[in-house]
């Protein structure tokens, strides 16, 4: 890793907006479990059961189940997808288009080192976002005196992080395989849209359940992770797939002409 490049590319100022949103999302997801908002949500849920089913809300008997439905069901995957696209555009596709990447390559550093530095900045941003969500939940749980099972939340966040890394790595690979920034944006948006769509559809009854095999997000088995009955295997698969994606990205980047 190249430290000077890492400090240039890991732009904490640019990340502040994301971190603020993550903190808010984490805190709100825990706050919504307090009696008054929970009752209001339950009422809305009874009015529109299909919509809430699609979003992944199954029960609210305890805080992990509640957060799994309202936060990990659709909102957090959406946020991670948007971050992965945005960060990959800023880190890779725009610099490759405007010549900044060519300047970085015309140096005494290997292409692999340059790409791995970008990957480190991308992944660290993602880790910080999910950590901030967790901190937001923890803070809200402390403020509103909620019974928060820390281990359960840590397992959920770890599993979700593995799958999120795969999404970010897939966007990285797409950025390197795309001819320009516009093409990358279109492809990544299509990937994010369909992954989320398949995830939502897989929650419907009958044959729709099989659609989950088409979505990366279904590798996050939040229920098993939260209640300690497994769920690590698919997360590990996601992590291995993310590493393979990065390895293939290195191969592509090494041969890519600018």
Partner 1 sequence: MIRCENLTREFFGDGVFDISLQVKEGEALGLLGPAGAGKSLLLRILSGQLAAQEGRAAIFGLDCWAKRHVIFKKAVYAPAAPALEPGLTGDEYLKFYAQYHGLFNPQKARDLSEQMDVSLTGLCQKMTIEQRKKLSLLAALSMDAEVFLLDEPMNGLSVMAKNALMDALVAIRGRGGAILMTSHVLEEVRRTCSHVAIIRQGRLVVTQPVESLSHTRQKVYHITFTSPQEAADFASEWESGVELIGTRALVAIPASPGPLLRTLARYDVVDLIGGREEAEEGFLRFYGDEFV
The site for partner 1 (CB under 8 A) is made up of 2-5, 8, 11, 95, 98-100, 102-111, 257-258
When the beta carbons of 99 and 228 are compared against partner 1, the nearer one is 99
Q: Is 10 helix (H, G, I), strand (E, B) or coil?
A: coil
CB of 170 to partner 1, least distance (A): 26
CB of 89 to partner 1, least distance (A): 14
When the beta carbons of 179 and 240 are compared against partner 1, the nearer one is 179
When the beta carbons of 2 and 165 are compared against partner 1, the nearer one is 2
When the beta carbons of 39 and 180 are compared against partner 1, the nearer one is 180
CB of 67 to partner 1, least distance (A): 35
When the beta carbons of 3 and 61 are compared against partner 1, the nearer one is 3
Cβ atoms of residues 32 and 38 within 8 Å: yes
Both tokens of 1, joined, read 């890793």
Angle (nearest 5°) at CA 118 between 114 and 181: 105
Distance separating alpha carbons of residues 31 and 8, to the nearest angstrom:
36
CB of 99 to partner 1, least distance (A): 3
CB of 188 to partner 1, least distance (A): 22
Closest CA to 112 of 245, 11, 3, 247: 247
Distance separating alpha carbons of residues 159 and 84, to the nearest angstrom:
17
CB of 15 to partner 1, least distance (A): 13
DSSP codes, 131-167: HHHHHHHHHHHHHTT----HHHHHHHHHHHHHHHHHH
When the beta carbons of 96 and 245 are compared against partner 1, the nearer one is 96
CB of 5 to partner 1, least distance (A): 6
CB atoms closer than 10 angstroms to residue 201: 16
When the beta carbons of 95 and 222 are compared against partner 1, the nearer one is 95
Phi, psi of 119 (to 5 degrees): -65, -40
Distance separating alpha carbons of residues 64 and 46, to the nearest angstrom:
20
DSSP state of 231: -
């Amino acid at each position: 890793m190249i430290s000077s490049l890492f400090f240039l590319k890991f732009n904490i100022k640019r990340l502040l907006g994301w971190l603020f949103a993550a903190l808010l999302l984490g805190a709100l997801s825990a706050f919504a479990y307090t009696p008054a908002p929970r009752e209001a949500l339950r009422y809305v849920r009874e009015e529109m059961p299909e919509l809430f089913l699609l979003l992944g809300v199954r029960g609210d008997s305890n805080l992990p189940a509640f957060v799994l439905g309202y936060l990990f069901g659709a909102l957090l995957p959406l946020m991670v997808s948007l971050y992965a696209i945005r960060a990959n555009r800023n880190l890779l596709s725009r610099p490759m288009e405007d010549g900044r990447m060519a300047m970085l390559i015309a140096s005494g550093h290997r292409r692999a080192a340059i790409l791995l530095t970008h990957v480190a900045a991308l992944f660290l941003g993602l880790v910080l976002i999910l950590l901030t969500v967790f901190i937001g939940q923890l803070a809200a749980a402390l403020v509103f005196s909620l019974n928060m099972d820390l281990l359960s939340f840590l397992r959920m966040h770890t599993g979700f992080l593995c799958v999120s890394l795969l999404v970010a790595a897939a966007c990285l690979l797409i950025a390197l395989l795309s001819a320009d920034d516009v093409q990358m944006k279109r492809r990544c948006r299509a990937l994010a849209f369909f992954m989320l769509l398949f995830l939502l559809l897989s929650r419907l009854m009958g044959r729709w359940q099989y659609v989950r095999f088409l979505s990366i997000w279904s590798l996050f088995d939040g229920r098993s992770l939260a209640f300690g009955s497994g769920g690590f295997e698919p997360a590990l698969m996601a992590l291995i797939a993310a590493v393979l994606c990065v390895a293939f990205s290195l191969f592509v980047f090494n041969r890519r002409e600018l």
